[in-house]
Structure 1
Amino acid sequence: MSLKLIAALCIFVLTLVGGLIPLLTRTDSRKMMRFFYWGDCFAAGIFMGVGLIHLLPDAITQFQVAYPAVQFPVIPTVCAATLFFVHLLEQKGGCHMCHHGLAARAWLPLLLTGLLSTHALVEGVALGISESTTRIALIFAAIFIHKWAESFVLGLNFRHNELPFQMTLPILVLFSSMTPLGIAGGAALDTLLSDHAIVLAQACISAIAAGTFIYVATLEPERAYPGRKPDDPHYSRFSGGGLLYFGLGIGLMGVVAGMI
C-alpha cells in the first residue's frame, strides 16, 4: 500500500470521526471548544510554517530549475494572488448569502462546508503531486493536525444550527472525501505529465497550496467557531495563549526544516 493511499485513508477517517464527535456526543461544547481552540492555533502555526518555510521556497527553486532565464517572481506572485482570490471568494460568497436572506440554519453551515472543501481539495492535490517522501510526510502532517480541529468545528456548527443528522452525515462524508480526491487527482497528474511539466505543475500547485495554507493560518473566517461573542476572550483567533501555540507550530516547522 503506497504512502499516498495510506495518507488518504487516514485523512478520510480522521475528518469523518472529527465531524461526528460533536453530533453524537453530549459533552459540554464550551470545554471541548477550549481544547480545540488551542489545537487550532497550533495547527494554524503548522500551516504557516509549511506554507512559508517549506512549500514556497521549494516552489521557487522548482520554477527556477524549469525556467532559469525568467527573472520575474512568478511563484511569489501566484502565492499572493491565491491569498487574495481565496479571501475575495469567501467575502463575496458570504455577502451573496446574506443579500438573498437565506436561512442561516442551513445555508451558512453549507457555505462553510463548501469553502473548507475547496481548501481540502487544494491541499490534497499538493500532497498527491509530491514525489519526495519527506515532502509527502510534511504536507500530510500539516493536513492531519489541522483536520481534526477543522472537522470538529464544522460538526459543531451543524449541531448549533440544529440540522438533522440525515442531512449532515452525507455532507460530512463528502467533505471527508475532498482531500483524498485531491490526492488521487494530484497522483494522476504526476503519472500523466512529462518530467518538465511535472516540475512546473509542482511549482505552481505548491505556490497555490502555500497561499491557501497561509490563508487558513491567518485569515480564515472566525465563523468556524460558532456562538462566539466579541467580549469572549477567545473571540480573536490568536488572543491570549493562542498566539503562543501559533508560534510553537511555526517553530516546529522551522526545526523540521533544519533537520531535512
Structure 2
Amino acid sequence: MATTKLVMKLVYILLTLFTFTISPAISTAPEGCDSGAENPCIDKAKALPLKIVAIVAILTTSLIGVMAPLFSRHIACLRPDGHGFMIVKCFASGIILGTGFVHVLPDSFEMLSSECLNDDPWHKFPFAGFVAMLSGLATLAIDSITTSLYTVKNVDEPVLDVYGYDQEKAIHTVGHNHSHGVVPETTKDNTQLLRYRIIAMVLELGILFHSVVNGLSLGATNDACTIKGLIIALCFHHLFEGIGLGGCILQADFKNVKKFLMAFFFAGTTPCGIFLGIALSSIYRDNSPTALITTGLLNACSAGMLIYMALVDLLATEFMGSMLQGSIKFQIKCFAAALLSCAIMSVVAKWA
C-alpha cells in the first residue's frame, strides 16, 4: 500500500535527520558540569571490549525477541487467533507501556533538567512532558488521518463510524429491518489490516528513536562499571521490547521481506548507535548542552508515541475487543500479563 510505504519512508527520513543533530553535540561541556574525570571506572582500554560484547549481545537478544512472534503461528497454542497469543500480546503491550513510562520519559526529564543547561528556559518549563504530550497527539493524528484517507480512497460507502456502520444507514436499517446498511466484511478486514500496519510502523519508529539514543550513550561512555550493568539490562529490555514489536509485525501481515527487514532494522539500531558512539567517544560529550537537549527531546517524543500506542492501539483495542469482552476471567489473565510485564520493566529500569 502507498500509505505504508510513505510511513516507512518517514521512518528513514527522521532517523537521517537525527544523525545531523549529533555533530553539534560534539562540544565541550560547560564548566561546573560533572565530567566524570575523577571516576576510577573510566578506562577506555577496558571499556572497548565491553562495548563489542554489548553489540553482539544486544543484537542477538533483539533478534530473538522480535523474531519469536513471527514464528509463533507454527505453534498451536500461540496462533494469532488463540487465547495464548492474546495473553502474550498483552504481556508485550505492557512492555511497551513500561518502556515509555519508566525508561524513556524519566530519562527525558533528567536530561532536560540537567544542571548543564541554562536555567532559562530549560528549568522553568516542563519541556519533556510537553513534547511527550504533543508526540502522543501527533501519533493520534497520524493514526486517524491515515486510516480516514485510506477508507475514503478505497471504499464507495461513506466513512465508517467506530461501530463499522454509517450512522444514517444504521438508523434506516433498524427502522425498516433492512440489511443494506452493513458494510462488507472485506472492507472491515482491509481497514483493520491497515490499522495493524500503521501500528507496527509507528511503534517501530518510537522504539528506534530511543534505541539510537541508548546505543550512542553506551558507545560514547568509557565507564567500564556502567557498561557492565547496561549490557545485561539492555539485553532484557530489547528482548521483551522485541516481543512486543514482533507481535505487531505479525498481525500487520506484511510480506516476508518487509517483516524481516523491520525485524533486522529494530535489532540493528542500538548496535549501530554503539558503533557511532565508539567512533565519537573521544570528542562526543553526553553532558554538553546540545547533546542533552537533542537526546532529551527525542526521548520525550519517543515516550509520547510509545505510551499512546501501548494504551490506545494495543491494550485498549484488545480489552474492548470481542475476545476479551466475552470473558471476565480471560480479561483478568490478560490484565495480569500486562501488569507483570510492566513490573519487569520497572525492575529493569534500576539499571537501564
TM-score band by shorter chain is 0.7 to 0.9
Contact 1:123 1:143 in 2 (8 A): no
Identity %: 16
Paired residue for 1:217, among 294, 300, 310? 310
**Alignment partner, residue 238 of structure 2:** 143
**Alignment partner, residue 3 of structure 1:** 54
Paired residue for 1:95, among 144, 148, 173? 148
| Residues matched between the structures, number | 247
> 2:340 corresponds to which letter in structure 1?
L
Summarize the Cα distance change of 1:42–1:58 in structure 2 as closer, same or farther, 3 Å threshold. Answer: same
> 1:130 corresponds to which letter in structure 2?
S
Paired residue for 2:264, among 177, 191, 197? 177
> 2:331 corresponds to which letter in structure 1?
S
Pairs within 5 Å for 1:100-249: 100-101=153-154, 104=190, 108=194, 110-131=197-218, 133=227, 134=229, 137-158=232-253, 168-184=255-271, 186-187=273-274, 190=277, 191-192=279-280, 194-195=284-285, 196=288, 197-221=290-314, 230-233=321-324, 239-249=331-341
Q: CA RMSD in A?
A: 3.7
Distance (Å, rounded) in 1 between the aligned partners of 2:199 and 2:99: 23
Paired residue for 2:344, among 223, 238, 252? 252
Give 1:116 shift: 3.9
Distance (Å, rounded) in 1 between the aligned partners of 2:297 and 2:340: 28
Structure 1 residues 182-212: Cα deviation after superposition (integer angstroms, max 9, x where no partner) = 3255446645574213333332222222223
Distance (Å, rounded) in 1 between the aligned partners of 2:191 and 2:144: 19
Q: Which region of structure 1 is more displaced relative to structure 2, 145-154 or 183-192?
A: 183-192
Contact 1:124 1:180 in 2 (8 A): no
Distance (Å, rounded) in 2 between the aligned partners of 1:254 and 1:187: 24
The structure that has the greater radius of gyration is 2
Contact 1:63 1:75 in 2 (8 A): yes
Contact 1:153 1:224 in 2 (8 A): no
Distance (Å, rounded) in 2 between the aligned partners of 1:258 and 1:242: 25
Structure 1 residues 62-99: Cα deviation after superposition (integer angstroms, max 9, x where no partner) = 22223240311111111111111122212212222222
Summarize the Cα distance change of 1:189–1:249 in structure 2 as closer, same or farther, 3 Å threshold. Answer: same
> 1:67 corresponds to which letter in structure 2?
L
Summarize the Cα distance change of 1:126–1:39 in structure 2 as closer, same or farther, 3 Å threshold. Answer: farther
**Alignment partner, residue 177 of structure 2:** none
With the length of structure 2 as denominator, give the TM-score of the two structures. 0.57
Segments of 5+ residues of structure 1 without an aligned counterpart are: 159-166
With the length of structure 1 as denominator, give the TM-score of the two structures. 0.74
Contact 1:125 1:185 in 2 (8 A): yes
Summarize the Cα distance change of 1:113–1:128 in structure 2 as closer, same or farther, 3 Å threshold. Answer: same
Runs of 4+ more than 6 Å apart: 222-225
Give 1:31 shift: 7.9
**Alignment partner, residue 161 of structure 1:** none
Give 1:121 shift: 2.5
> 1:252 corresponds to which letter in structure 2?
I
**Alignment partner, residue 12 of structure 1:** 63
SS in 1 for 2:322: coil
Distance (Å, rounded) in 2 between the aligned partners of 1:50 and 1:247: 13
Give 1:7 shift: 1.1
> 1:127 corresponds to which letter in structure 2?
N
